[in-house]
Structure 1
Amino acid sequence: MSYSTPSYGSGSSSWGSSGYDGCVQQCIASFGTPATYAPTATSGSSGSTGTGSTITVVVAPTQGVLRYVPFAVNASVGDTIKFMWGANNHTVTKSSELTPCNKTSDAPFASGEQNKSFVFTQVVNDTNPTFFYCGTPTHCEQGMFGIINPPSALDAPTSVAGMMSAVISNDTSGDLATYASYTSNQTSGSAGANWGANIDMSNMPSWAYDAVVENVMFTRNVLAMNPDIMNADGSVNLASIGSTPMMVPPDVGSALNAASSPSSDSSSASTASSVATSSASSATSTSSPVGASSTNGAVSVTSSKALVGAVVLAVTFFAL
């Protein structure tokens, strides 16, 4: 008897009739590869400045990534929050905890829709939780909001740590569970693996729970890729990104949502949607359908959880 070395990835799996290489290309097309963010020449600026420290928040670090980095920051009275645009067509607009995607009338601020390299600054006048969001249509509903001085509940059942398991379990699409697995793998051994765990969600609307969890996980992935930007107290310090570009992980959560929501107007989201749909139709798996939650305006589609899981595992490997 003779032994023949197996040829992995050369079987009859349906990845666009191109075997393993086709799988890899679809992973990259669906979720993208790690990118970088570095400040460019300022195209314009507005806002107010204080006498305290300056805390940087990046607005959409790359095109199609609908996140603020970091998702939440702590600041003292007199500090200045410096919002720096990394992509086009986004806003920073003040909202509230009860309605994160609606402009507030309580001491409002709004940058207006701006493009890459714009800078908007705001002085912190009190330490109450301040919510802000992107007013470009559909962006906030896809999770693009952030918090200054987030409400905290150390080890409480209403904290992110206390509610994360239930929030993931209640997501019938399975997308959050997939993103959680991805994040757990990416942040293993990272000092930022538990970042945001004490953010209190008790007064937030239930539809926002998924978005909060996704935003926390995205920031954790950023910290895992950029350990030098995390201070000893757990805060995020982006002061060095001018000299050392910040690595930006693939926004797996946004891509998964986009695959279930053809209404997204993000260019990367539409790409992810078409690729994921094509992959699902060609896959031979008979796993249960994935249904998108109706609370964020997404419609239900039929997909394969096994396919999504395989794609995420593959993109995790190739992102290293």
Structure 2
Amino acid sequence: MSYQTSNYGSGSSNWGGSGYQDCVNQCIASYGGMSGGGSYQATATSGSYGSSGNGATHTVIVAPTKGVFRFMPFATNASVGDTIEFHWGADNHTVTKSSELLPCNKSAEAPVFASGEQNENFVFRQVVNDTNPTFYYCGTPTHCEKGMFGVINPQMATPGSPTSLGGMMSSMAANDSDLSAYAAYSQNVTANNDVAAAWGTNFEMANMPEWSRSLMATNVLFTRATFGMNPDTINADGSSNLASVATTPLMIPMDISGALNAAAASTAASTPVANAAAAAATTSASAAPSTTAKPSSAMALASPKMLVGVVVVLATIFAL
């Protein structure tokens, strides 16, 4: 299997522009992958709930570190009788059953499961009763909307299908500069690991709500990057193997999209101030003409999203 997306490598012109965001994306493509977002270390549990089946046990990490609103891995393949064991890496998260059509809404379809809000080092076990796709999410307000959902036994598409994640990645990234930046970062981290680079390529996306597709893609890219940074955690068949986290810290990749989303929200909150500054400048200019050109509000006010991009680029460059 090959990684079916645009070429985001060094020197690529696939972003189609020369703006600041395009520059950030290309810098991440060139230098990203050497700097992590922290680490996860399994420790003694602080509490647990649920029973175990008679099959294999599959580990899923709930928020590997503070501020990372993701499940690692995003998807897990399991057989009937297997146990999914969720390990909390940070506080204030839940594991709650949802559905493909409503990935951020609690499902009433039996068997229902919900861990309740738990904290770091908690363990929640859920026995797999069938092999149908089973979605789950974090029920803490706003966490799922930031991408914190996952799936057991995801639906698979025919290899090369236009509705597979691989088939849709290029078009989604072309319309989402944050996603393209994350794709570039992930591709660099997995450059020497073909299994990690192709992980999730054939996940079916046709039934996913349109708003959730880019979030699903970012979850897959985050999982790929984690595998790339921790090559011993992925088997040759693409399944995860997190047994080593009991003795070796799991390196966590940068959550680029989370940082950019926070910056975008900060930028939106400052918009009224920018408009007021622009209006004041216009009024002042009309009342007292000056021979000195005044900077526009866009130039005068620093963009938090720009600052985040600069931090990401500098962090990855200095980590080399």
Give the TM-score taking structure 2 as reference length.
0.74
Amino acid at match of 1:91: T
The answer to whether the 8 Å contact 1:34/1:319 transfers is no
Partner of 2:167: 162
Partner of 2:211: 207
The answer to whether the 8 Å contact 1:182/1:312 transfers is no
What is the distance in 1 between the residues matched to 2:119 and 2:308? Answer: 32
Amino acid at match of 1:315: A
Deviations 1:145-186 (A, max 9, x none): 001001111221111100011111222xx2112222222222
Partner of 1:194: 198
The answer to whether the 8 Å contact 2:266/2:304 transfers is no
The answer to whether the 8 Å contact 2:263/2:304 transfers is no
Partner of 2:84: 81
Give the TM-score taking structure 1 as reference length.
0.74
What is the distance in 1 between the residues matched to 2:318 and 2:98? Answer: 38
User: Does the alignment pair 1:98 with 2:101?
Assistant: yes
Equivalences, count = 254
Call closer, same or farther: CA 1:319–1:121 in 2, change over 3 Å. farther
SS in 2 for 1:34: strand
The answer to whether the 8 Å contact 1:92/1:110 transfers is yes
Call closer, same or farther: CA 1:217–1:209 in 2, change over 3 Å. same
Q: CA deviation at 1:49?
A: 1.2
Q: CA deviation at 1:314?
A: 2.6
SS in 1 for 2:197: coil
- From 234, 255, 277, give the equivalent of 1:251: 255
**Which one has a bigger Cα radius of gyration?**
2
**Which deviates further from its counterpart, 248-257 or 134-143?**
248-257
What is the distance in 1 between the residues matched to 2:167 and 2:61? Answer: 28
Q: CA deviation at 1:245?
A: 1.5
The answer to whether the 8 Å contact 1:91/1:112 transfers is yes
What is the distance in 1 between the residues matched to 2:123 and 2:48? Answer: 5
Q: CA deviation at 1:254?
A: 1.4
Gaps of 5+ in 2: 1-34, 271-294
Alignment of 1:280-319 (within 5 A): 303=303, 310-319=310-319
The answer to whether the 8 Å contact 1:143/1:212 transfers is yes
Gaps of 5+ in 1: 1-31, 264-272, 275-285, 290-300
Amino acid at match of 1:44: G
What is the distance in 2 between the residues matched to 1:68 and 1:202? Answer: 22
